[in-house]
Amino acid sequence: MKKLLALLLATVMTMSLLTACGSSETAAEAGNEETQAEVGNEEADAEAGNEEAQADAEANVEEAAEAAALSDGVLTVGTNAEFPPFEYVDDNGEPDGFDIALIKAIGEKLGVEVEVENMEFASLVSSIGSKIDVAIAGMTVTEERQQSVDFSDAYYEAVQYVILPADSEIATAQDLEGKTIGVQLGTTGDFIATDDIADTTVNQYNKGVDAVNDLINGRVDCVIIDKNPALVFASKFEGQLIALDGAQFDFGTEEYAIALPKGDTALTEQINAALEEIKADGTFDELVKTYIEAE
Ligand code: GLN
């Protein structure tokens, strides 16, 4: 800690010296020089063979990075509580579900409070780093999303399912061609229906449940949505709806992960470490039993 203070003091002194010299550098430039000053210090230490000092400096940089990511003691988490059993609004009007319990357990390991913001699924990725710190929403890792956000280690394997009227004749990938398909806007089910199946009309809904209601009303021929929500939704209309495994339609498997601000390696490492601990100590399996297998 002393070293961190000394480093900060040195940085402040360097900065005031630069200001005194009439430099009109921007805050960003100052930040860069700060980093360079830190690197410079580490190099000098290493050259002098002072390994202890170097290790201290590294620990301090790490400490500073940690503090920056979660410094306010609160992890603000975006979700879309329309995706049971991963997230839904409980009887008290609060977001609950597997993902919510998982991120709360992660917050506990990291010693921060978790605040959940319920928002539209399609807004989650663009809100990371501004309205929310991270997002957990049964979100599939995709290359497109990876252009704007980073992902934690994957925590769940999923696949798209097809919900159909019980008497539907749709059974193969080819049968889906030319059909009217209900999806949740901006999801991987939406991408499959829009991009991968020929001649479809795709009706996009903000909530998966609205797509399912339109299936009941005969406005769409089927709904493509992730396995577990598909099973929950279909079970609410037993006898009327069935949910078929996407493998039957050649849909590939997907992986859920927590979406994080791009480039925030400190936060990514901490969340991955917490996730690993939660898996190792049995908490993860408990959550699967409570929220997913109980469905
Ligand atoms: N797994 C899907 C996706 O990431 C759907 C997620 C959701 O609707 N919450 O697009």
Distance 218 CA to ligand 1 centre (A): 24
Tokens in use for 249? 């339609």
Q: Which residues have C-beta within 8 Å of that of residue 93, sequence separation ≥ 6?
A: none
Q: What is the pLDDT of residue 217?
A: 97
As a whole number of Å, the CA-based R_g of the chain is: 24
Residues 248-261: b if buried by 16+ CB within 10 A, e if exposed: ebebeebebbbbbb
Distance 251 CA to ligand 1 centre (A): 15
- 178: three-class secondary structure by DSSP: coil
The whole-angstrom separation of Cα 34 and Cα 60 is: 14
Under the phi-then-psi rule, with left for phi > 0, alpha for psi from -120 to 50, and beta for the rest, what region is 152? beta
- The whole-number mean pLDDT for each consecutive block of 10 residues of the chain, a chain of 295 residues, reads 44 43 41 46 53 66 56 94 98 97 97 97 96 97 98 98 97 97 98 98 97 98 98 96 97 98 95 97 97 85
Distances from the Cα of 89 to the Cαs of 84, 115, 260, 290, in angstroms?
A: 9, 15, 23, 16
Distance 232 CA to ligand 1 centre (A): 15
Residue written as token pair 């209309």:
237
Q: What is the pLDDT of residue 24?
A: 40
Of 295, 284, 168, 152, the C-alpha closest to 221 is: 168
